[in-house]
Amino acid sequence: MFNVNKLSNFVAKRSEFANVVKNGKATEEESAKAYEEMMDALGSDLTDYIDNKMKLVEAAPINDGMTNEEREFFNAIANGDLSHGTKQEVVLPETTVDEIFEDMVKEHPFLQIIGLKNAGLRLKFLKSDAQGIAVWGKVYSDIKGQLTATFDETDATQSKLTAFVAIPNDVLEYGANWIKTYVSTQIQEAFANALESAFITGDGNDKPIGLTRDVHTGVSVTSGAYPDKTATGKLTFADAATSAKELAGVIKALSKKENGKSFVARGKAVLLVEPGTSLDIEAAMTVQNVNGQWVYALPYGISIVESEYVPTGKLIAFVPERYDAYVAGNVTIKEYDQALAIEDGRLYTAKRFAYGKAKDNTAALVYTVDTSKASASASQNS
């Protein structure tokens, strides 16, 4: 699948959508309008892309690489008989779903680093918390220590994720291969942006519980919505020495579970920042060696990933293995009610299920960030 970041109108509208939703001040109508504009831009850019490709190949036969099941499925869309006129939900071919998932994770670094998993039809977690001690003793002596574990089997509360897929008649005329490209890309980006936003700031009300949400034991949940975390502290990245000290504090804070037990966060922690902030951090942590080479390195095995959905002025420090992120179930699509269908085309809905929640409240921490001193320091060193 091609790189959607080359679709300029879509990229611009995606940024607008992120700005609308990431700080939690937009109304549901404003968020919906921004999302609709983003997907409209994607559809328009995709149509132009396919039109240009068709002009180049002049509809010459191509090796589309599709399975027989995929070819039959997307030809059925072209012919208007996907569900044989019943308007029932139809399952997308498994090979197409796997491809969408792989491309979605590849094109969205956050989804890759959070460890998004493609699960089965039903999610169930077996949680354990080891307790007890191991005791040294002579061989064949009585057992003096006992290791115990408390296990808790929990059904995950999944949220339904629905996306609209609009297919213009022009694309329907181009055949199964291009219809697959068009449908798969729309589903991929609709799901990816919704998931990324939810895994970061989702309030848990019919959506995943994001990294920025307070999930401590006994937290007050209002109308299904989890409250925002209180900022753990402030990071400035004023210079290399200050940054090292600040980041040491971050790792220490991540190294204690909510129940007080120790956890090795060193080498596993990720800093999630909005685009641009990573450059300020890099400026603070870059030094020139005796050979005149500029060397950049973060201490304590920390890595950085950017997302447009990180709230402005915030940094989220988290350990990916301590956050559960899943998509589950088949991807089903259904032709939408004709009364609301788009002009000169067809409208479908695509549905899947998702789950996201931190294992406890210290799996992720939110910091305020003021990199003005880091920028000033970088300017002075240049």
Quote the pLDDT of residue 127. Answer: 47
Quote the pLDDT of residue 260. Answer: 94
Residue 263's Cβ-count burial label (10 Å; 0-12, 13-18, 19+) is middle
Question: Rounded distance, CA 204 to CA 223, Å?
Answer: 10
Q: Which residue has the tokens 């301590």?
A: 322
CB 203 within 8 A of CB 210: yes
Quote the pLDDT of residue 285. Answer: 85
Q: How many residues does the chain have?
A: 382
**Listed residue (211, 210, 229, 234) closest to 219, CA to CA:** 229
pLDDT one digit per residue (tens) for the chain, 382 residues: 567 888 899 999 999 999 988 877 778 888 888 988 998 899 899 988 888 877 665 544 455 678 999 999 999 888 887 766 667 889 999 999 999 999 999 989 999 999 999 876 555 544 444 444 454 444 444 443 444 444 444 555 678 888 888 888 888 888 888 899 989 999 999 999 999 999 999 999 889 999 999 999 999 999 989 999 999 999 999 888 899 999 999 999 999 999 999 999 999 999 999 998 998 888 888 888 888 888 888 999 999 999 999 999 999 999 999 999 999 888 888 887 654 456 677 888 888 889 999 999 999 999 999 988 775 444 444 4
Quote the pLDDT of residue 164. Answer: 83
Question: Rounded distance, CA 262 to CA 364, Å?
Answer: 15
CB 340 within 8 A of CB 177: no
Q: Which domains are present in the chain? A: 4-122+156-212+325-358 (no CATH), 233-322+362-381 (3.30.2320.10)
CB 261 within 8 A of CB 293: no
Quote the pLDDT of residue 57. Answer: 56
pLDDT digits (tens, 9 = 90+) for 107-121: 899 999 999 998 765
Q: How many CA atoms lie within 13 A of 89 on its CB side?
A: 10
Strands 124-132 and 90-91: unpaired
Question: Rounded distance, CA 213 to CA 363, Å?
Answer: 11
Quote the pLDDT of residue 22. Answer: 82
Sign of the dihedral through C-alpha 75, 80, 84, 89: positive
**Listed residue (327, 336, 30, 31) closest to 167, CA to CA:** 336
Query: Which positions ≥6 away from 50 have C-beta within 8 Å?
Result: 171, 174, 178, 181, 182
pLDDT digits (tens, 9 = 90+) for 297-337: 899 999 999 999 999 999 999 999 999 999 988 888 888 76
For 272, the 3-state DSSP assignment is strand
